[in-house]
Each structure stands twice: as structure tokens, then as C-alpha cells.
């Protein structure tokens, strides 16, 4: 049995029944991680000795029938934006020194540790998570598991590639403009950006309240389980939400019958979607209707807020790097240097005007969800393009936001949004469908996604790891 092919839920069931142990699962997963690394470059570092030590401790707890928590013995990876105690967090940047005590976990990582998870290592990110693809001066290019000449997406590209290839069923990513959903869609896995504050963040992101942390997994059931663990308050994040009223795992059972679903194939004609992507999404929307949802093709009142997003995003980057010396700036990704220069030019009034756009967008989406439980769109209008580029060849856009018009609006509004793998295009590259709900209704997003998995309308895109 290939334990690397199992979900976290399946691994836990096997531990419970004594069919295999956390040590066996960890050994196989580490072997898989080592095998895929040369081709896709998903990891900044593996923490093999620590992983095996935690796996041995977990195996003994399971032998005694005393698991430490909901994820005891499950191999997990962590994007190298989030602090992992005892290991450097370099955030894809040559400007951060490895030396230091590194004696604190991020809130979500601390919760994983409390629940007995096994940390395999840190996954790659572009510098400070600034763009929608994963390459940086520090660790190079992260490639797509389905075609290594293509990008894995970003900024949580290493996490997406690792999960897709069986190097751990669970990963923690971050999403400030699509950074969980973009790579999850490109790599053919499930990714959830929860409601802002559901998963506490510390240190606070330079991109402020645009940035969310959340699960990247093989299916919605694993994401619900992971969110049950990490979606609890932490005193270090003043904007964290209180504990959810119930279990996200329990909320999966409801199905979609009776839910009111708005299907917007192109945000009212604002987005040119490739035919193969549009067809895969439309087929899956029809399955939602077959499962009992009330589906209406309609569009939210949503004009493209990209300029407001740029003002907030580029300003955050400028703030992050404002004290960097000229020598440090020369170590940075050239594209990041560009947006920092632009961000530093915005006035306070321009920043507040962008906040006004954001608040109005939030109001309009709040009203929209008084009528509809869920909004469905493509996650992206395209599939994965060439690795090492910020935008596809021939794109009229200079920045990554030009090809991600379905993702960043919902960072502005702080709504829960997930991507579900719903097929392949003609080149064998995964297509993602996005599910969006009103703020605080993460349960509806997970419920609908789980219904699609249960019905066979969603599944991890099949991929053979390098060396197999």
C-alpha cells in the first residue's frame, strides 16, 4: 500500500485500526518528498530527523490508544512564510539571515504541534509571498507536478506541488490575493481561503487584512479537519475570530440540496475564460443542480477592483521593505523592487480611497449573499503557463493580477473561497472551480465542495511522481 496516496482522514483511520503506523507513513512521505524535490522544487528544507522523532512518539501514543489530538501522526508541510519553531523562516528572501533562535510557532503551526502533527518541512514561496507564481532569488523556480515546464502557481506553490505529489496530505498556505487558490487550481488539489481571522496570523502580514492562512489538501474532508485544528483564536492576533460555533467536519454532512447557487462564468463578461476551463466549470455546475442546488446563471455587482487592490498590495510591500539598505534591495526579486517603488508613491488619501473601494465591494457582496448562499466561478481563466514567468507569454498585463481576476476580489471582501479540481484541459493541466460564500460561512463552502467530491465531480488530478 502506498501510504502517500492516502488522505489525512484515511491515515488516521489506519492508525486507529493498527493497519500501519505514523512511522511508516512518515518514512514513505519523506521518501516521496526527496524523490520529487529535484524535479519540482517544492521544499526549502526537509526536517527529517524531527519528523521521524515526532512520528515515533505518535506511534507509541497510538499503540497505547492515547492519540494526542485530531492529527496525531499525520505528515504536514508548512509554507515558509509561517514560523516553525526551531527552523529558519526565510520567506523566500535573501534579505533574511538564517541565524537566530527561531523559538516561536505561528498560531496555526502551534495548533498542529498540539494535535500531534508530524512536520516534514517548509515549502517554497516567492519572496514575501508577493506574486501569483512561485520563484525567487533564494530557492529558484517551483514547477508544476503535471508538467515541469509549467508553473505551480503561487504564492503557496511549494505546498500545492507537495500535496499533489503525495509529499504530505496536508499543508498550511497563505492567501493575500489568491495564493492558496491559484496554485491549488494549477496543481489539481483543494485549497481553502477561510474567512479573514478564522485562522490567526502572527506575525501580522505586511499586506494587512488581505492576507489569510488556510488548508491545502487532497479533498474537502481533510480541509475541514485541518480547519477544525487551526481555526481557533490566538491571543497574538488581535483580529482573530472567536471559535467557530461547531465542527467544520460535522458541517460536511449537509449536502447542497436547497442551496441557492449563483453561477458567474465570466463576472458579467469582464473575464475572457479559456474554452476548456469554461466547459469543465459548467459541467460541474450542472452536477450541483443534479445534487439538488438551485442554480441561477447571474453575476455579482462587481466591477474589477484591481487598482484598489494594487494600492493596498504595493503599499504593503513598500512598508515591508522601507528600512532595507540599498545593498539589501539588490538582493530582492526585481519585480518586488518595482512594486515597492510604486507602493511608496501612494499618498495616504489614495490609500484611503482604496479602502473605500474595498468597503463598497464588501457591502455589495454582503447584499448579494442575502439572495445566494454560494457564488461559483472558475478559479482562474487559464491553466498553468510557463515556469519562471510572472504572466503568460503574450499577456497584455505586466503584473500577476492580470490573470487572476477571480481570486483577489475576495481577499478585499475577506470572504471564504475555495478551489475544487474539476478536470483537465487538452494539455492535461488541471482546471479549478471556485466556491465563494458570505463571510463566516466557511461551512457552506466546505459542504458544497465535499458534495462534489462525494459525487465524483471533483477529485485530485492524477499525477505520477518523478522516479516512479
Residues annotated as catalytic (active site), given as ranges: 79, 155, 179
The answer to whether the beta carbons of residues 79 and 156 sit under 8 Å apart is yes
CA–CA distance, 230 with 240 (Å, rounded to integer): 12
CA–CA distance, 79 with 155 (Å, rounded to integer): 9
92 grid coordinates: 523566500
> CA separation (Å) from 402 to 270, 272, 398?
12, 11, 7
CA–CA distance, 118 with 28 (Å, rounded to integer): 13
Strand-pairing partners, residue 418, are: 192, 435
What secondary structure, in 3-state letters, does 165-212 show? CCCCCEEEEEECCCCCHHHHHHHCCEEEECCCCCCCCCCCCCCHHHCE
Residues 6+ apart with CB under 8 A from 265: 273, 278, 281, 282, 297, 377, 378
Look-up: residue for cell 475544487? Answer: 420
468 grid coordinates: 516512479
Amino acid at each position: 500500500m502506498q501510504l502517500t496516496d492516502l488522505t489525512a482522514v484515511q491515515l488516521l483511520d489506519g492508525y486507529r485500526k493498527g493497519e500501519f503506523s505514523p512511522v511508516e507513513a512518515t518514512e514513505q512521505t519523506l521518501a516521496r518528498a526527496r524523490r520529487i524535490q529535484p524535479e519540482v522544487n517544492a521544499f526549502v528544507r526537509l526536517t527529517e530527523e524531527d519528523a521521524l522523532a515526532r512520528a515515533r512518539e505518535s506511534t507509541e501514543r497510538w499503540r497505547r490508544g492515547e492519540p494526542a489530538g485530531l492529527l496525531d501522526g499525520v505528515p504536514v508541510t508548512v509554507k515558509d512564510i509561517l514560523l516553525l519553531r526551531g527552523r529558519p523562516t526565510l520567506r523566500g528572501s535573501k534579505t533574511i539571515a538564517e541565524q537566530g533562535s527561531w523559538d516561536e510557532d505561528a498560531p496555526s503551526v502551534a495548533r498542529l504541534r498540539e494535535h500531534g502533527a508530524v512536520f516534514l518541512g517548509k515549502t517554497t514561496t516567492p519572496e514575501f509571498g508577493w506574486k501569483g507564481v512561485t520563484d525567487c532569488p533564494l530557492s529558484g523556480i517551483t514547477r508544476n507536478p503535471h508538467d515541469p515546464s509549467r508553473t505551480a502557481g503561487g504564492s503557496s506553490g511549494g505546498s500545492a506541488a507537495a500535496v499533489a505529489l503525495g509529499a504530505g496530505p496536508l499543508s498550511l498556505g497563505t492567501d493575500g490575493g489568491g495564493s492558496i487558490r491559484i496554485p491549488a487550481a494549477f496543481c489539481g488539489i483543494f485549497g481553502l481561503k477561510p474567512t479573514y481571522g478564522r485562522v490567526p496570523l502572527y506575525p501580522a502580514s505586511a499586506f494587512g487584512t488581505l492576507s489569510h492562512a488556510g488548508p491545502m489538501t487532497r479533498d474537502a474532508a481533510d480541509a475541514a479537519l485541518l480547519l477544525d485544528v487551526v481555526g481557533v483564536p490566538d491571543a497574538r492576533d488581535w483580529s482573530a475570530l472567536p471559535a467557530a460555533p461547531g465542527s467544520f467536519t460535522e458541517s460536511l454532512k449537509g449536502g447542497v440540496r436547497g442551496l441557492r447557487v449563483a453561477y458567474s462564468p465570466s463576472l458579467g463578461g469582464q473575464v475572457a475564460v479559456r474554452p476548456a476551463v469554461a466547459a469543465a466549470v459548467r459541467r460541474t455546475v450542472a452536477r450541483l443542480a443534479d445534487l439538488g442546488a438551485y442554480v441561477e446563471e447571474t453575476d455579482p455587482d462587481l466591477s474589477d477592483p484591481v487598482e484598489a487592490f494594487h494600492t493596498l498590495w504595493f503599499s504593503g510591500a513598500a512598508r515591508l521593505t522601507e528600512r532595507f539598505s540599498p545593498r539589501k534591495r539588490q538582493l530582492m526579486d526585481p519585480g518586488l523592487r518595482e512594486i515597492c517603488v510604486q507602493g511608496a508613491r501612494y499618498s495616504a488619501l489614495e490609500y484611503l480611497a482604496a479602502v473605500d473601494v474595498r468597503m463598497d465591494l464588501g457591502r455589495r457582496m454582503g447584499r448579494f449573499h442575502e439572495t445566494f448562499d454560494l457564488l461559483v466561478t472558475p478559479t482562474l481563466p487559464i491553466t498553468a503557463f510557463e515556469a519562471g514567468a510572472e504572466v503568460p507569454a503574450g499577456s497584455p498585463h505586466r503584473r500577476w493580477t492580470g490573470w487572476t481576476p477571480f481570486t483577489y476580489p475576495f481577499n478585499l471582501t475577506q470572504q471564504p473561497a475555495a478551489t475544487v479540481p474539476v478536470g483537465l484541459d487538452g494539455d492535461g493541466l488541471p482546471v479549478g472551480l471556485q466556491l465563494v460564500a458570505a463571510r463566516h460561512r466557511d461551512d457552506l463552502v466546505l459542504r458544497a465542495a465535499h458534495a462534489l467530491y462525494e459525487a465524483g465531480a471533483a477529485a485530485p488530478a492524477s499525477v505520477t511522481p518523478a522516479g516512479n
